[in-house]
Structure formats: C-alpha cells, structure tokens
Chains A and B, each alone.
Chain A
C-alpha cells in the first residue's frame, strides 16, 4: 500500500503554472491575429497553443494524482459534472441553433464552459464533505 503525501488542489505552484499557460494560450491567440491564415508565424503560434493545452492536461493529471483519496473523489465528481454538463449544454444549444438561435463558436467557448462547470462542480462536491 503506497502512502501519498498530503497535497491540495490549491497548490500555489499548480495555480501559478496554470495561469502562465493560460496567458500563453490567450497571448498566442491574440498575437496570431496579426498574421495571415496559413502563414508560418500563425501556424507556429497555433502549435504553441496546442502544446500549452497539452501541458495543462498533463499538469492537471499530475496534480490530481498527488491528492488524497477524498480529494480525488471530489475532483472526479467535479469533472463528471463538467463533462456531462458541457455535453448537455453544447448539444442542447446545437438543437436551438437549428431552430433559429444565433450560432456560437463552440471551439472557443467549450473549454471556458467546461472550466466554469468544473469550478461549480468542485464547490458543490467539496461542500458535501466539509
């Protein structure tokens, strides 16, 4: 049985690294507007965004593995809420789009929506065990 050092999802290093990566993703998106589609700099900036996104996923997985069993359960419930909630909202709005509501760029809004639902799910699940 492997004992795990106590950790917290409020680890300042994880939060700082996430903010830096988010700034890189947003900064690259902003900088890319200055270049034409298909140009080398624009493709390079898009690659930077992809790599930063992959780093966020890797770091999230790494930080989850450091949590203890209750905190992992809380995160699992929060992620389930975010995953299912995003699917329901996106699919539901797609039907509304077909019915005539304005189209939404889901490529841009899916991740922020998922992050918002994760935060809401975390607060809900965390409260259950507090």
Chain B
C-alpha cells in the first residue's frame, strides 16, 4: 500500500513520535505504516484520515492501482 502519510506528517512538522501520540499508537506502528511494512486496520485508517481532514483514499492507495 502506498501512503501519503510521511508527506502529510512532515508538512505539519510532526515527528513520527508526535503523530503516534496523536493517533494513540506506538511510534513503531507509524513507522511501519509509512514504510509500507504494515497496512493499518480500517479504524486506524479512519483515525488517520480524520486527523488530517482527508478521505482515506487520499492518504492510502493500493499497490495494484
């Protein structure tokens, strides 16, 4: 899964740790999502989308598309 998360995060000047704190997850989870090693669950994807005021598909895109 490709993600815009690193760009969105850096645009706001947040570290991975700060984003993790806002999402109530570990920094390891944020890092794994950003590097494409882990696809977030739907509830977490919604939390991320809500935090950045975007739709899920504006942040995440399947590799095949």
Given A1-B47, A3-B47, A70-B38: A129 in contact with B28 (beta carbons within 8 A): yes
> Number of B residues whose C-beta is below 8 Å from A?
17
Assess whether B24 is in contact with A8, with CB atoms less than 8 Å apart: no
Set B24, B31, B32, B38: member contacting A4, Cβ < 8 A:
B24
| A69 interface hit (Cβ, 8 Å) | yes
Assess whether A69 is in contact with B28, with CB atoms less than 8 Å apart: no
Total contacts A-B at CB 8 Å: 43
| B8 interface hit (Cβ, 8 Å) | no
A 61-93 contacts with B by CB, 8 A: 67-71, 73
Q: Which residue of A lies closest to B21 (CB)?
A: A6
CA gap between A130 and B43 in the complex, in Å: 22
Q: Which residue of A lies closest to B37 (CB)?
A: A129
Chain B residues in 8 Å Cβ range of A130: 28, 31-32
Binary CB contact string for chain B from 10 to 24 against chain A (1 if under 8 A, 0 otherwise): 000000000011001
Given A1-B43, A1-B46, A3-B47: A68 in contact with B37 (beta carbons within 8 A): no
Chain A residues in 8 Å Cβ range of B46: 1
Assess whether B25 is in contact with A68, with CB atoms less than 8 Å apart: yes
Given A1-B47, A3-B47, A129-B38: A68 in contact with B24 (beta carbons within 8 A): yes
List 8 other contacts, CB 8 Å, given A4-B25, A68-B24, A130-B32: A6-B20, A69-B25, A70-B28, A70-B32, A71-B28, A128-B37, A129-B28, A129-B37
Q: Using CB atoms and an 8 Å cutoff, list the residues of chain A in contact with chain B.
A: 1, 3-8, 67-71, 73, 128-130
